[in-house]
Amino acid sequence: MSSKTSPSASRKPEPERVKQSLRVWLKMLKATKHVEAVVRENLRVEFDTTLPRFDVMAALYRFEEGLKMSELSSALRVSNGNVTGIIERLVSDGAVLRVPVAGDKRAMLVRLTQRGRDEFARMAAAHELWINEIFGSLPTDISAGLLATLDTIEHAQGLYSEGEHDA
Amino acid sequence: MSSKTSPSASRKPEPERVKQSLRVWLKMLKATKHVEAVVRENLRVEFDTTLPRFDVMAALYRFEEGLKMSELSSALRVSNGNVTGIIERLVSDGAVLRVPVAGDKRAMLVRLTQRGRDEFARMAAAHELWINEIFGSLPTDISAGLLATLDTIEHAQGLYSEGEHDA
DNA sequence: TGGAAATTATTCAAGCTTGAAATTTCATGC
DNA sequence: GCATGAAATTTCAAGCTTGAATAATTTCCA
C-alpha cells in the first residue's frame, strides 16, 4: 500500500492539485444536487411521491420475484432500519406486498403489487424524460468521457471504505 | 423556448440517447453518493460531526462577518426551517453565535465563534486530503474536462426549476 | 398615515437516515 | 440435544429535510 510514486501518497500533496480536486468535487456535488432537486420536485408535483420511495420501487421493479429486506437495503446502500419505514408506507399504500420466505421465519420477501408496478412504470417513463432533458444535450463523446471519468472516480481510492463493488 | 431543433424538443427523444442519459446520471449519482459517504464517515469518526454541520460551518467560515439565516439557507440551497435546527445545535455546542441585526428586529446574524473557526479549520484541512485522495489521481486534462462538462449540465436545461444562479 | 404586501425567522408534521440495541430465528459444533 | 454465534429484521433515539403555517417586522405606496 501507498507506493512512493502514487498520486495519493500520504505526504505533501501538491496544493494546486488539491485545489483542483476540491473544485471538481464541489462542482460535481452541486450538479448532482441540482438534478436530484429537479427529480424530487417533479416526483412530488406530478406523482405525489418521494425520491426514496422511487428508489425502492425501482429496485423492486427490477427484481420481479421480490427481494429480502436485507437484499433491498444493500442494493440501495442504505441502512437496514431505513428500508423498514419506507416499505411500511409503501405497503400501507398498496404498492408493495410482504410475503414470508419459505424455510426462514426471519426473512421477508418484498414485492411490488400490480398496482405498484403500473405506478412505477408511469413514473419511470416520466423520469427518463426529465433526465434526458438535462443530459440529452451532451454530445456523444462528452457523455462517454464523463461516464469513463466517473468510473475512475468510483474506483480511484483504496484508503477509505473498501466496500463490496457493483451488484 | 423549445425550438424545433433543440436536443430537448418535447417530441420523441431518440431512445438510444435517453438510455445513455440515464446511464450517465445513474453513474454520476452513484459516484457522488460514494464520495459523500466517505466524507460523512470520516467526519463522524474523526470529528464526531455531520455533513450538514460541516456545510453550515463552511459557509460561515467563508463569511467572517456572519450571515443572516436567510442568506445561509439560500447559500446552502436548503429550506429555511432546516437551518434553524442545525444552527440551534451548533450554538449549544459553542461553535456558533447569534447576534441581532441592528435596524431589523426580524433578522439574526449568525457567526462562527473562535472555537468554531478553529474547529472548522482542522476539519477543512482533513477534508481537503480526503477529497484529494479520491480526485487527486485524475489527470489534469481529464479533471478540467469533467469540470467543463459539469458546468454544462448545471446550465443545460430550462424547463424545470428556473432558479437563481451562482452567488 | 395606514394598511396591504413582502421579508425574516421559527414552528410544525411528516418523512428520511443513520448507527446501535434488541429480538427472533437459523446454523454449527460438540 | 443444546449452547453459542451468525443472520434477518425491527425498534429506537437523534438528527436531517421539506413544505406549509404562523408570527413578527419592515417596506411600499396610495
Span A57-109, pLDDT tens digits: 999 999 999 999 999 999 999 999 999 999 999 999 999 999 999 999 999 99
Span B43-99, pLDDT tens digits: 999 999 999 999 999 999 999 999 999 999 999 999 999 999 999 999 999 999 999
Contact B25 A131 (CB under 8 A): yes
| Furthest CA-CA distance within chain B | 58
Whether B164 has a pLDDT exceeding 70, the answer reads: no
Average pLDDT for residues B95-124, to the nearest whole number? 96
In percent, the amount of chain A with pLDDT more than 90 equals: 79
pLDDT bucket at B160, cuts 50 / 70 / 90 = very low
CA distance B35 to chain A (A): 8
* C1' (C8) to CA (B119) span, angstroms: 29
Span A113-142, pLDDT tens digits: 999 999 999 999 999 999 999 999 999 999
Residue A118 in grid coordinates: 403500473
Whether B131 has a pLDDT exceeding 70, the answer reads: yes
On whether the CB atoms of residues B84 and B72 are closer than 8 A, the answer is no
CA distance A104 to chain B (A): 32
Nearest to A154 by CA among B75, B166, B149, B36: B36
Q: Please work out, in degrees rounded to the nearest 5, the angle formed at the alpha carbon of residue A24 by the alpha carbons of A155 and B145.
A: 85
CA distance B146 to chain A (A): 7
What integer pLDDT is reported at residue B104 of this predicted model? 94
Whether B127 has a pLDDT exceeding 60, the answer reads: yes
What integer pLDDT is reported at residue B3 of this predicted model? 40
pLDDT bucket at B11, cuts 50 / 70 / 90 = low
Average pLDDT for residues B31-44, to the nearest whole number? 93
Whether B38 has a pLDDT exceeding 50, the answer reads: yes
What integer pLDDT is reported at residue B10 of this predicted model? 55
* C1' (C3) to CA (B96) span, angstroms: 38
Average pLDDT for residues A50-63, to the nearest whole number? 96
Residue B76 in grid coordinates: 446552502
Number of Cβ within 10 Å of residue B157's Cβ equals 21
For residue A7, CA distances in Å to A11, A72, B29, B137, B138 come to 10, 36, 25, 5, 9
Contact A160 B129 (CB under 8 A): no
Which H or E run contains A47?
A: helix A15-47
Number of Cβ within 10 Å of residue B110's Cβ equals 22
pLDDT bucket at B157, cuts 50 / 70 / 90 = low
Cα atoms found within 13 Å of the Cα of residue A92, Cβ hemisphere only: 5
Whether B1 has a pLDDT exceeding 70, the answer reads: no
Handedness of CA B9, B15, B19, B20 (dihedral sign): negative
Rounded Cα–Cα distance for residues B39 and B46 (Å): 10
What integer pLDDT is reported at residue B12 of this predicted model? 67
pLDDT bucket at A3, cuts 50 / 70 / 90 = very low
Identify the structural domains of chain A with CATH numbers, from first to last.
18-137 (1.10.10.10)
On whether the CB atoms of residues B90 and B56 are closer than 8 A, the answer is yes
Non-local CB neighbours of A152 within 8 Å, separated by 6+ positions: B137, B138, B142
Give chain A's mean pLDDT. Answer: 87
3-state secondary structure of B123: helix
User: How big is chain A, counted in residues?
Assistant: 167
On whether the CB atoms of residues A102 and A108 are closer than 8 A, the answer is no
Residue among B2, B19, B20, B32 with most chain A CBs within 10 A, to mutate:
B32
Residues by CB within 7 Å of nucleic chain C, which ones? A 50-53, 77-82, 85-86, 89, 103-106; B 40-41, 44, 68-71, 80-81, 83-85, 87, 98, 101, 104, 106-109
Rounded Cα–Cα distance for residues A61 and A104 (Å): 23
What integer pLDDT is reported at residue A5 of this predicted model? 42
Across all strands, nucleotide nearest B78 (CA–C1'):
D17
Average pLDDT for residues B16-26, to the nearest whole number? 93
State which amino acid sits at residue B49. Answer: T
On whether the CB atoms of residues B10 and A132 are closer than 8 A, the answer is no
